């Protein structure tokens, strides 16, 4: 059974103040009338329509101004959504309008009905997104949403240090096995003499022996003493 009522408040999906709508009798009797959201459609109540229309106009003007300011504020914000991802960066689940509304309340203390957040499809990848907002019948807005991962990024293993070049080893020649070490300058000076002017090496002088007398020379005869 249906009944006609006059709405005295804005009811989403049903109407606004001064609208005349037909609803189920039980819904009107048990919900609308007790809460003052509607009144029965009678001749006496029709006289209240002008006052209800005036109140509706004032409410809508205030909502328009409020939503216009809110659109300006939200356009300057970046709503960050933290999600879990796998090692390959793929998200577990998706970001929904309800999640965005919760983060707006948590991060900026902005209360926004999730039905005013328009997503063509849930967000399923990390990155920045411009989300459309249907704040009012005449007010649209845009909110920047940044989806980030809570999974720590694993740093790639550090590359092993390159082996030192063998320049130092090449600079110092290695001694071959079985070869005696080179003599020092002092040792060479003791065993060899400098070459003479003709280019021949002089033999070292012998010491400790008297020079031999020449064979042609005979010792002088001893003279008798006088």
pLDDT in tens, 149-201: 988 666 556 555 655 555 455 555 555 455 555 555 555 555 554 455 444 55
pTM beyond 0.75: the answer is no
Domain 2-68 adopts which CATH fold? Ribosomal Protein L9; domain 1 (3.40.5)
With vertex at residue 82, the alpha carbon angle to CA 80 and CA 83, rounded to the nearest 5 degrees, is 140
Which residue carries 């040792």 as its tokens?
187
Q: Rounded distance, CA 98 to CA 158, Å? A: 42
Q: In the CATH hierarchy, which top-level class contains the domain 71-149?
A: alpha beta
Closest-CA residue to 83 (of 71, 75, 91): 91
Domain boundaries, the chain: 2-68, 71-149
71 CB-near residues (< 8 Å, 6+ apart): 133, 135, 139, 140, 141
Mean pLDDT computed over 31-45? 92
Nearest to 83 by CA among 116, 125, 44, 119: 125
Distance CA 211, CA 180 (A): 38
């Amino acid at each position: 059974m249906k009944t006609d009522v006059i709405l005295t408040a804005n009811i989403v999906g049903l109407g606004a103040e001064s609208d005349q709508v037909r609803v189920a009798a039980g819904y009107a009797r048990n919900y609308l009338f007790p809460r003052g959201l509607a009144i029965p459609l009678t001749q006496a109540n029709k006289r209240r329509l002008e006052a209800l229309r005036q109140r509706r106009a004032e409410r809508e003007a205030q909502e328009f101004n409020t939503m216009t300011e809110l659109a300006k504020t939200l356009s300057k914000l970046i709503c960050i959504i933290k999600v879990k991802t796998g090692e390959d960066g793929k998200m577990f689940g998706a970001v929904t309008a309800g999640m965005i509304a919760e983060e707006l309340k948590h991060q900026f203390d902005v209360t926004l009905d999730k039905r005013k957040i328009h997503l063509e499809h849930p967000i399923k990848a990390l990155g920045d997104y411009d989300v459309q907002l249907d704040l009012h019948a005449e007010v649209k807005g845009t909110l920047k949403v940044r989806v980030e991962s809570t999974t720590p990024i694993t740093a790639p293993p550090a590359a092993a240090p390159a082996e030192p070049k063998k320049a130092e080893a090449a600079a110092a020649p290695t001694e071959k096995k079985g070869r005696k070490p080179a003599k020092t300058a002092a040792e060479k000076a003791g065993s060899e003499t400098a070459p003479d002017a003709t280019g021949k090496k002089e033999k070292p002088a012998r010491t400790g022996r008297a020079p031999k007398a020449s064979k042609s020379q005979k010792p002088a005869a001893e003279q008798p003493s006088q």
